[in-house]
Amino acid sequence: RCLQEAAREIPCSPYGHRLLLQPLTASVRTLRSLLTVSGGAILHFGGHGAPIGFLLFEHTHTDGVAHRIDHAVLTDLFAAGHKDEPTLLACVLTCHSYRSGQAFVAAGVPHVVCTGGRLQDDHAAHFCYQFYLALFSGKSVGESFEIANRSLAADVAEDPSAHPPPHRRSVFLAPPEDPHDRGPTPFRLLG
């Protein structure tokens, strides 16, 4: 939902390209298909993660059944097949997605947003909206991340029910040594 709202705010990218948003069920088949067919894209995963380092995908053959995918399996999925247009950004805003995020980094994704702990759904939505709005407006990935972090920090500070405070310890931009100062290139948004 936050992706659609941000995309509506910016009808056209600064480069004159329209954004293509494809909301799909998160399954292994869907992820591998996107990586095979789409190439240069933003991959957004909205779902659930667990402290021991896996993401919950939907089981490919049984609707509504969770399929645990750990960081090793994610690394293998990304390693299969050569892509001429690599994934530019992976946004994995689920609880406990840091280890999974490292699989995207290991696969060569230059910018990965992930979390190190619990993240409330409304906080993830707030962060995503601000992050994508800034990115679609032509800000660099690093600037967009900082804008979203500061906006979320201000929002959480006003919310006495926010758990766990403060959120800044749980949302990361990886790899940490990269300045993430590159602006977006023409892309298609997949999520």
For residue 14, the one-letter residue type is P
Confidence of residue 63 (pLDDT cuts 50, 70, 90): confident
Q: Does the pLDDT at position 64 exceed 80?
A: no
Q: Is 93 helix (H, G, I), strand (E, B) or coil?
A: coil
Q: What are 144-159's pLDDT values in tens digits?
A: 999 998 998 888 776 6
Say which residue, 175 or 39, is predicted with more confidence. Answer: 175
The pLDDT score that the predictor gives to residue 165 is 44
Give the best-scoring range by mean pLDDT among 17-31, 128-142, 150-164: 128-142
Sheet holding 188-190, edge to edge: 171-174, 111-115, 89-92, 41-45, 188-190
Mean pLDDT of 103-119: 87
Percentage, residues of the chain above pLDDT 90: 5
The pLDDT score that the predictor gives to residue 191 is 39
Could you give the angle at the alpha carbon of 122 between the alpha carbons of 120 and 123, nearest 5°?
65
Q: Has this prediction a pTM greater than 0.85?
A: no
How is residue 71 written in tokens?
């960081």
